[in-house]
Copies of this chain bind each other. A is one copy, B any other.
């Protein structure tokens, strides 16, 4: 996952047809938005076209397999992609059609994507809070699963038809992706595409937090925040692979039964209780390890909760996410209460503070790959298994993001590339969700992919 890698390329883009419910993708080249679109939309489309052209030009330079000289049938090839068109609310992620078959160059493969994971960076990126995503228009998505559709030269360890998971800095929320072969990982037999899409980010993160950074060992105690989230569930499972690790986990009360079954010995409802007090009641001397995906003032609390020789691993800033759009108050609060520490304080308290973010781990693919191999071994032994909270089709990406941002999920939220089957309108939205809040969504939010409005650019 080199930071210098071009994100999975976008050969050419078009807005998905407006004023028409999302369904099967068009086989025909989609209509150009100019002429019938407003000036604003025309400007946006022009920007996208320019970006696409630039991308294409850059790509064709190193390889002599000229993307410019595509055969007509390759040009006619289209695939669906989710595109962040500007920073803002859920409606900024739009379903679009891209055209032109991606041709793998040396060392690359084309993957036909079946399922994608949704992660917090994708949500932060939508609000303009994640600097690892290039400026819009851009396709988000750090992980997906699918099968190899074509292999470039010099690719010897992947073949057409191989079922793979993919990990990239971004660009994976689309039906077809072009990636370096060594950014793909063969899926073990029996692993579903949903599981494959749920696996890399959460499990690699959880593994590194626990075993590379916190050095977790028998008889240690761990606090896992957001214990019902993707990383939370992965971390809880991984803690079970070490003897006598005591897991404290925060989650809403309605999720306690599930996380308890997963191995959280002390579930704490952070919405109704002071989690610090609750933990001190059970373990007055504090904890050995705290995994912190929250940031802001929770990081200081985490640090204070550590025993001497304890380790805090910060791996997210979920507290910055408040509401659909960038919330300046939440940001300011998070910034104001940002945790900083001096070396002297660390020394006087005998504590460790680590930071981890997979998205910033450029050029460390050997490490990532090594970790994933260990994880696949554990998967095959039946010791870990992704928990899928819910699946959404690309058309429902707003609902998927909202479910995660509202922290209603238990496990991973997955996007399916397969077009949503049309069903009676009144029923369709409540099918995949186990909790509601959907009525509110309908009131507040236009549906992506089925919207009739003109697209907007920039902040809204």
Q: Which A positions have Cβ atoms within 8 angstroms of B?
A: 208, 212-213, 215, 292, 295, 299, 308-309, 311, 314-317, 338-357, 360-364, 367
Contact = CB atoms under 8 A, between A and B. Distances in A.
A376 to B, nearest CB: 20
B350 A360 contact: yes
Given A340-B340, A344-B338, A347-B314, A352 B213 contact: yes
Contacts of A342: 338-340
A350 B343 contact: no
Nearest to A132: B348
Given A346-B353, A350-B356, 17 more contacts: A208-B309, A295-B343, A308-B360, A308-B362, A309-B361, A309-B364, A309-B367, A338-B343, A338-B344, A339-B342, A340-B342, A341-B353, A346-B355, A347-B356, A347-B357, A348-B360, A352-B353
Contacts of A362: 308
A352 B350 contact: no
Contacts of A213: 352
Given A340-B341, A352-B353, A309 B212 contact: yes
A316 B343 CA distance: 9
Contact of A350 (B346, B353, B357): B357
Given A341-B340, A342-B339, A355 B347 contact: yes
A343 B353 contact: yes
Contacts of A208: 309
Given A352-B352, A367-B309, A339 B347 contact: no
A65 to B, nearest CB: 32
Q: Is the interface of A mostly helix, strand, loop or mixed?
A: mixed
A313 to B, nearest CB: 8
A361 B351 CA distance: 10
B340 A317 contact: no
Nearest to A339: B343
B343 A349 contact: no
A56 to B, nearest CB: 31
Contact of A355 (B292, B299, B316, B345): B345
Contacts of A343: 292, 295, 299, 314, 338-340, 353, 355
A42 B353 CA distance: 50
Interface centre among A212, A317, A353 (most CB of B within 10 A): A353
A277 B125 CA distance: 37
Nearest to A354: B352
A362 B355 CA distance: 26
Contact of A308 (B346, B351, B361): B361
Contact of A348 (B212, B311, B357): B357
Contacts of A354: 311, 346, 351-353
Nearest to A295: B343
A72 to B, nearest CB: 45
Give 8 closest A-B pairs by Cβ, nearest first.
A346-B355, A347-B355, A352-B354, A314-B343, A339-B343, A340-B342, A215-B215, A347-B357
A373 to B, nearest CB: 16
Contacts of A316: 347
Contact of A360 (B317, B349, B357): B349
Contact of A341 (B341, B348, B351, B360): B341
A401 B305 CA distance: 38
A379 to B, nearest CB: 23
A142 to B, nearest CB: 15
Contacts of A317: 344, 347
Nearest to A356: B350
B355 A350 contact: yes
A208 to B, nearest CB: 8
A215 B211 CA distance: 9
A352 B352 CA distance: 7
A349 B341 contact: no
A347 B315 contact: yes
Contact of A363 (B308, B349, B360): B308
A212 B212 contact: no
A314 B353 contact: no
A355 B348 contact: yes
23 contacts: A208-B309, A213-B352, A215-B215, A295-B343, A308-B360, A308-B362, A308-B364, A309-B364, A309-B367, A314-B344, A314-B347, A315-B347, A317-B344, A339-B343, A340-B340, A340-B343, A341-B341, A341-B353, A346-B353, A348-B360, A351-B354, A351-B355, A353-B353
